[in-house]
């Protein structure tokens, strides 16, 4: 017992020393992490139609970011709804330099997204991207005038960016990596004064060739999972898809006479369609035409044949899907997506519903061979 006492003391001493070292090292490691974050390039994903949730995300990120420079990676047809003024104020008044990069090709920054790009301390774009149609700034809601800092050439026309920048952007890096390297030694005026960026250095390889390499970490930020889920229904073609899918699945459940997975999918589809309808500038006559087109299909289905009403339904669905939003040229439904949706809906009604109805209402026939006695 006496022999084991010194060993126990040594073990306890080593344990306390390890705890002390960990406690001492923790603040140092935390400080190093904070310093690394403050020196990083923060890339903020601004993708797809912008609504109030996207606006709030960009505003909060810019106001609370810890980074050497904030890069807004933009690929958006514009702002469908919401108040962009707090976001623009946050970008313009940010003490951290904010750089807008429209890319990668074939990205676009139209409407309110073009205004956001113009508000940054430095506006850049990849070659092959589209930049313009700044008016209207917001498609749904109160009319907002185009701010004076937006280039007049971007208000009512779109410019396709070439390698020279087409006179509307300062730099034309084709990728985030090239942008980070190109920002080195760039001086930008912010509310905190002139900030000179330090993002790259020249290194000499084993072959003696000099190259410029980034020296800062690059962090990426995007909206939360629920926001990204909601925004699945934020494009015109997505609204058309989820609306038609949800309504057809409701009809399917009516004929199937049972609540199951199909009902859950129908509810989910209509929920996403409802989010798009609530945020996009809808053309309600086109929405009505979509509903009438589906009814035409179902009437022909009820009659047990594909006839004139099916052709009328196809035409109404195509026209309604292509014109479902009143926001051209910023927000337009992709014709191929609308076409595939119509083909899928028609096939489902002709084959899926037919199979369900036949299996439900068919009469089982028993012949003589099955009778006993």
Query: Which of 11-25, 181-195, 296-310 is predicted least confidently?
Result: 11-25
Phi/psi-derived region of residue 313, left when phi > 0, alpha when psi is between -120 and 50, beta in every other case: alpha
Across residues 33-48, what is the average pLDDT? 78
Question: Kind of pairing, strands 218-221 and 210-214?
Answer: unpaired
Q: Are residues 246 and 190 both part of a single domain?
A: no
Q: Are residues 295 and 312 both part of a single domain?
A: yes
Residue 253 lies in a domain: yes
Residue 207 lies in a domain: yes
Please report the pLDDT score of residue 57 as a whole number. Answer: 97
Q: Choose between 33 and 19: higher pLDDT.
A: 19
Tokens 């980070």 correspond to 180
Length of the chain: 373
Residue 24 lies in a domain: no
Residue 205 lies in a domain: yes
Residue 14 lies in a domain: no
Residue 13 lies in a domain: no
Backbone angles phi, psi at 140, to 5 degrees: -125, 125
Chain segment 258-291, per-residue pLDDT in tens: 667 888 899 999 999 999 999 999 999 999 999 9
Q: Are residues 91 and 70 both part of a single domain?
A: yes
Q: Which helix (H) or strand (E) holds 56?
A: helix 52-64
Does 31 score more than 70 pLDDT?
A: no
Q: Are residues 140 and 178 both part of a single domain?
A: yes
Question: What's the mean pLDDT when you consider all of the chain?
Answer: 86
Across residues 168-189, what is the average pLDDT? 93
Whole-number Å distance between alpha carbons of 41 and 178: 13
Residue ending a domain, among 167, 199, 222, is 222
% of residues, the chain, pLDDT over 90:
62
Across residues 219-239, what is the average pLDDT? 94
**Contacts of residue 75, Cβ cutoff 8 Å, sequence gap at least 6:** 46, 47, 48, 102, 103, 107, 108, 109
Across residues 217-228, what is the average pLDDT? 94
Residue 61 lies in a domain: yes
Q: Tell me, what CATH number does 201's domain have? A: 3.90.226.10
Chain segment 294-322, per-residue pLDDT in tens: 999 888 887 766 678 889 999 999 999 99
Contact 22, 53 (CB under 8 A): no
pLDDT bucket at 69, cuts 50 / 70 / 90: very high
pLDDT bucket at 29, cuts 50 / 70 / 90: very low
Residue ending a domain, among 177, 207, 222, is 222
Q: Are residues 240 and 349 both part of a single domain?
A: yes
Residue 233 lies in a domain: yes
Q: Are residues 64 and 96 both part of a single domain?
A: yes
Chain segment 247-261, per-residue pLDDT in tens: 999 888 877 666 678
pLDDT bucket at 350, cuts 50 / 70 / 90: confident
What's 147's DSSP letter? P
Q: Are residues 236 and 217 both part of a single domain?
A: no
Please report the pLDDT score of residue 287 as a whole number. Answer: 96
**Contacts of residue 317, Cβ cutoff 8 Å, sequence gap at least 6:** 244, 289, 290, 293, 294, 341, 342, 345
Residue ending a domain, among 222, 240, 258, is 222
Please report the pLDDT score of residue 32 as a whole number. Answer: 41
Q: Are residues 319 and 185 both part of a single domain?
A: no
Please report the pLDDT score of residue 97 as a whole number. Answer: 96
Chain segment 138-176, per-residue pLDDT in tens: 988 778 899 999 998 899 899 999 998 888 999 999 999
Q: Are residues 178 and 49 both part of a single domain?
A: yes
pLDDT bucket at 345, cuts 50 / 70 / 90: very high
DSSP calls for 256-291: HTS-SHHHHHHHHHHHHHHHHHHHS-B-HHHHHHHH
Does 76 score more than 80 pLDDT?
A: yes
Contact 254, 260 (CB under 8 A): no
Please report the pLDDT score of residue 246 as a whole number. Answer: 95
**Contacts of residue 226, Cβ cutoff 8 Å, sequence gap at least 6:** none
Count of the separate structural domains present in the chain: 2
Q: Are residues 52 and 98 both part of a single domain?
A: yes
Q: Are residues 189 and 249 both part of a single domain?
A: no
Contact 114, 78 (CB under 8 A): yes
Q: Are residues 278 and 356 both part of a single domain?
A: yes
- Which of 202-206, 221-225, 256-260 shows the highest mean pLDDT? 221-225
Structural domain of residue 276, as residue ranges? 227-361
């Amino acid at each position: 017992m006496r022999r084991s006492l010194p060993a126990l003391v040594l073990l306890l001493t080593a344990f306390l020393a390890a705890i002390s070292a960990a406690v001492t090292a923790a603040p140092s490691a935390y400080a190093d992490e904070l310093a690394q974050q403050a020196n990083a390039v923060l890339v903020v994903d601004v993708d797809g139609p912008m609504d109030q949730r996207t606006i709030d995300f960009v505003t909060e990120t810019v106001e609370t970011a810890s980074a050497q420079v904030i890069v807004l990676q933009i690929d958006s047809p514009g702002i469908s709804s919401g108040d962009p003024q707090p976001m623009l104020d946050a970008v313009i008044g940010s003490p951290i330099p904010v750089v807008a990069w429209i890319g990668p090709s074939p990205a676009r920054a139209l409407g309110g997204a073009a205004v956001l790009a113009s508000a940054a301390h430095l506006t850049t774009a990849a070659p092959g991207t589209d930049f313009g149609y700044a008016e209207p700034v917001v498609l749904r809601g109160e009319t907002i005038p185009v701010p004076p800092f937006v280039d007049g050439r971007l208000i009512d026309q779109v410019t396709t960016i070439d390698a020279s920048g087409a006179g509307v952007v300062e730099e034309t890096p084709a990728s985030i990596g090239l942008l980070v390297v190109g920002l080195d030694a760039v001086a930008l005026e912010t509310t905190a004064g002139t900030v000179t960026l330090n993002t790259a250095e020249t290194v000499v390889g084993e072959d003696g060739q000099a190259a410029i390499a980034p020296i800062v970490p690059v962090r990426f930020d995007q909206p939360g999972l629920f926001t990204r889920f909601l925004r699945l229904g934020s494009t015109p073609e997505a609204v058309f898809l989820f609306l038609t899918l949800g309504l057809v699945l409701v009809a399917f459940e009516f004929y199937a006479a049972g609540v199951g997975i199909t009902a859950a999918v129908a509810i989910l589809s209509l929920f996403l369609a409802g989010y798009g309808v609530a945020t996009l500038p809808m053309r309600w006559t086109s929405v009505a035409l979509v509903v009438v087109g589906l009814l035409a299909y179902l009437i022909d289905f009820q009659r047990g044949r594909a006839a004139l009403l099916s052709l009328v339904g196809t035409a109404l669905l195509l026209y309604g899907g292509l014109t479902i939003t009143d926001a051209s040229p910023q927000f337009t439904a992709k014709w191929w997506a609308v076409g595939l949706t119509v083909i899928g809906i028609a096939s489902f009604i002709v084959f899926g519903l037919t199979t369900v109805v036949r299996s439900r209402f068919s009469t089982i026939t028993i012949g003589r061979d099955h009778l006993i006695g």
